[in-house]
Chains A and B, each alone.
Chain A
Amino acid sequence: MSSEPIVISAKSLSKTYRLYESPQQWVKQIFFGSFRNYYKSFWALKDINMEIRHGDNVAILGRNGCGKSTLLQIICGIIRPTKGELWVNGRVAPVLALGATFDLESTGRENVLIGGAVMGLKRDDILRKMESSAEFAGIGDFMDQPIKHYSAGMRTRLAFAICVHVEADIFVVDEALSVGDEAFQRKCLDWLDDFRATGTLLFVSHSMDEVRRLCSKAIWIDNGKVREKGLPDDVIKAYLAAADGEPDDLRRFSAV
């Protein structure tokens, strides 16, 4: 096995959401919660075990609602797991729902300042990297326009450009690239290609070609559990085979 240090380690990680039928149930839970439960538990993740070492490039596969995003959000420290133990070593740059922090009334430049600050960068560092961010985004004079005049693709470009300049140890990409045009996707994939030589990459995509190109490992999550992990080719084969066999059944979203 590799001797690189472990950057992400999860031991029987589980996350449950409490679903209430009405706000009244929630109030009852606060006052009488020690006697009985007024909610239904929805286990978004069940008993996830994984170990990601420095330099690993891991693809996370799975159907909509299987728990991929929940897992990434936990790793990024946005939500906390209910059970289990988790270590994350290093700065994480999440390109989850890109541009979530964008303020529509502010210009691109102002949003780079806010986005960088949210990721923990110092103001001076952000200002120093501003020009190179603008160049990566490649949206020209729109940098000085309010975000509300941007197209979806331009927002994605700016958001990706911010994340690129965070100098993260762990880069998390969640189905982000599908919005950009061909040229920009190529630029991002090229950048990720360079990044994965030195950093750790967590990659969620429904494009198996991108997964094959970027990743050295794959984890398939099904219904909140790890169904298979290993080399990308093997996992993709099993995943695609299963997807053929399982129809797009509404019942798999049922909570309990």
Chain B
Amino acid sequence: MPLLHIRDGKIVHLRGATTTALMLRFFTAPFESAWRHRDLIAAILRRELQERFKGSIAGWIWAVFAPLLSLATYTIAFSGALQVQARTGEGTKGGYALFIFAGLVAFNFFTEMAYRAPSLLHEYSHFIKQTMFPAEMLAIISTLRAAAYSAIALVCLLIAQCITSGTLSWTVLALPLWFAAFLLFLIGLTWLLSALGAFTRDASYLMMTIAPLLMFMAPVFFPIDSLPEYGRLLMYANPLTGFIDILRDLVVFGVLPRWKVCLWTIFCSMVVFWLGYWFFDKQRDAIADVL
């Protein structure tokens, strides 16, 4: 039987739980909650996916057409441009177009969330204010929706890579791991941004201002190895750099990513995920009051 017990504004969880148990609880809480609300996540996600292309005749064709068109444009625009070399010294098989496209697949996934997150809770304010809606699920739902479009773009990238080089490297098998880490990172980021955005619209304007600039703070258009040592370190401070770098290594260059980059990226995504959850959970009551 569901039981609600609140004392002085705090949910009373378990009586006499040890500190270790409470800490463990904190780490498992987001997953437990997502599992408990899986039917709700599915129902809202289904609606969100349908909503995206509602009223258009072509519908989901747009989701496939957009990445294909950008890929075609890069191929034409950069057909004679510089050749990018993998750090192992071999030339890329797909050329500069695929190199940029891979960078943009990761970057666009990030910007979609960065733009939407600050207004996310406002979009669903009637749910949060008037029903027992678990607001923390919204970050997961919206990230999953964006993931669906990114997955389409990713498949386009794989097909293009397959066509230009005739084969795919075995390293693409590690892509699900890359995707999972990226999901954790973006869900955490969405928790942070959406909680901030509930209080002030400034969060929205802030993201609109800095997200396009981040494109040049991450190696979307150039290989990170073309930078001097200090520039590289600065770039890696942006977690997006790691995700872009690893995606290119796995798909475009077909090599294993550097383990230091992997560790740093996984570390970043885990910190952002639990930091985001902690912040959102702390602000949850205030959010219901201010929306």
* A82, CB-defined interface residue at 8 Å: yes
Against A, the Cβ 8 Å flags (1 = close, 0 = not) of B23-54 are: 00000000000000001101110010011001
Q: A78-B129, A83-B8 are in contact. Are A18 and B1 (CB under 8 A)?
A: no
Q: Which of A87-146 contact B (CB under 8 A)?
A: 87-92, 94, 96-97, 100-101, 103, 105-106, 110, 113-114, 117-123
User: Whose C-beta in chain A lies nearest to the C-beta of B42?
Assistant: A123
Against A, the Cβ 8 Å flags (1 = close, 0 = not) of B1-19 are: 1111111110100000000
Q: Which of A77, A79, A105 contacts B54 (CB 8 A)?
A: A105
Q: Which of A12-49 contact B (CB under 8 A)?
A: 17-18, 23, 26
Q: Within the complex, what minimum Cβ distance (angstroms) separates A103 from chain B? A: 6
Q: Which stretch in B98-106, B130-138, B274-282 binds the other chain?
A: B130-138
Question: B4 to A118, Cβ gap below 8 A?
Answer: no
Q: A78-B130, A100-B127, A100-B130 are in contact. Are A90 and B43 (CB under 8 A)?
A: no
Q: A77-B4, A100-B126 are in contact. Are A117 and B40 (CB under 8 A)?
A: yes
Measured CA separation A205–B200 after assembly (Å): 36
* A230, CB-defined interface residue at 8 Å: no
Q: Within the complex, what minimum Cβ distance (angstroms) separates A126 from chain B? A: 9
Measured CA separation A91–B127 after assembly (Å): 18
Q: Within the complex, what minimum Cβ distance (angstroms) separates B9 from chain A? A: 5
Question: A86 to B130, Cβ gap below 8 A?
Answer: no
Q: In the complex, what residues of A have CB within 8 A of residue B126's CB?
A: 100-101
Question: A83 to B9, Cβ gap below 8 A?
Answer: yes
Measured CA separation A17–B290 after assembly (Å): 9
* B90, CB-defined interface residue at 8 Å: no
Q: In the complex, what residues of B have CB within 8 A of residue A85's CB?
A: 5-8
Question: B6 to A80, Cβ gap below 8 A?
Answer: yes
Q: Which of B2, B7, B44, B285 contacts A117 (CB 8 A)?
A: B44
* A50, CB-defined interface residue at 8 Å: no
Measured CA separation A110–B1 after assembly (Å): 27
Question: A18 to B289, Cβ gap below 8 A?
Answer: yes
Question: B47 to A88, Cβ gap below 8 A?
Answer: no
* A62, CB-defined interface residue at 8 Å: no
Question: A23 to B200, Cβ gap below 8 A?
Answer: yes
Q: A100-B127, A110-B47 are in contact. Are A80 and B9 (CB under 8 A)?
A: yes
Q: Within the complex, what minimum Cβ distance (angstroms) separates B128 from chain A? A: 8
- B interface residues, tally (CB under 8 Å): 32
Q: In the complex, what residues of B have CB within 8 A of residue A76's CB?
A: 132
* B199, CB-defined interface residue at 8 Å: yes
Q: Which of B3, B9, B50, B133 contacts A87 (CB 8 A)?
A: B3
Q: In the complex, what residues of B have CB within 8 A of residue A65's CB?
A: none
Question: B9 to A94, Cβ gap below 8 A?
Answer: no
Measured CA separation A91–B128 after assembly (Å): 18
Q: Within the complex, what minimum Cβ distance (angstroms) separates B196 from chain A? A: 11
Q: Which of A79, A96, A120, A121 contacts B288 (CB 8 A)?
A: A79
Against A, the Cβ 8 Å flags (1 = close, 0 = not) of B94-115 are: 0000000000000000000000
* A81, CB-defined interface residue at 8 Å: yes
Q: In the complex, what residues of A have CB within 8 A of residue B3's CB?
A: 87-89
Measured CA separation A77–B131 after assembly (Å): 9
Q: In the complex, what residues of B have CB within 8 A of residue A103's CB?
A: 47, 51
Question: B43 to A123, Cβ gap below 8 A?
Answer: yes
Question: A121 to B39, Cβ gap below 8 A?
Answer: yes
Q: In the complex, what residues of B have CB within 8 A of residue A88's CB?
A: 3-5
Q: A86-B6, A100-B131, A105-B54 are in contact. Are A123 and B47 (CB under 8 A)?
A: no
User: Whose C-beta in chain A lies nearest to the C-beta of B8?
Assistant: A83
Q: Within the complex, what minimum Cβ distance (angstroms) separates B120 from chain A? A: 16
Q: In the complex, what residues of B have CB within 8 A of residue A101's CB?
A: 126-127, 130-131, 133
Q: In the complex, what residues of A have CB within 8 A of residue B40's CB?
A: 117-118, 120
Q: Which of A80, A89, A100 contacts B1 (CB 8 A)?
A: A89
User: Whose C-beta in chain A lies nearest to the C-beta of B126?
Assistant: A100
Q: In the complex, what residues of A have CB within 8 A of residue B54's CB?
A: 105
User: Whose C-beta in chain A lies nearest to the C-beta of B5?
Assistant: A87
Measured CA separation A210–B267 after assembly (Å): 60
Q: In the complex, what residues of B have CB within 8 A of residue A78's CB?
A: 128-132, 288
Question: A91 to B199, Cβ gap below 8 A?
Answer: no
Q: In the complex, what residues of B have CB within 8 A of residue A119's CB?
A: 131-132
Tell me the A residues contacting B by CB distance below 8 Å: 17-18, 23, 26, 76-92, 94, 96-97, 100-101, 103, 105-106, 110, 113-114, 117-123, 169
18 A-B pairs in the complex with CB atoms less than 8 angstroms apart: A18-B289, A79-B288, A83-B8, A83-B9, A85-B6, A86-B7, A87-B4, A90-B1, A91-B2, A96-B131, A100-B131, A101-B126, A103-B47, A114-B43, A117-B42, A118-B131, A123-B42, A123-B43
For the complex of A and B, the 4 pairs showing the least CB-CB separation, nearest first, are: A100-B130, A88-B4, A117-B43, A117-B40
Tell me the B residues contacting A by CB distance below 8 Å: 1-9, 11, 39-40, 42-44, 47, 50-51, 54, 126-133, 199-200, 285, 288-289
Given contacts A100-B129, A118-B127, 5 further A-B contacts (CB under 8 A): A86-B6, A101-B126, A110-B47, A117-B43, A120-B40
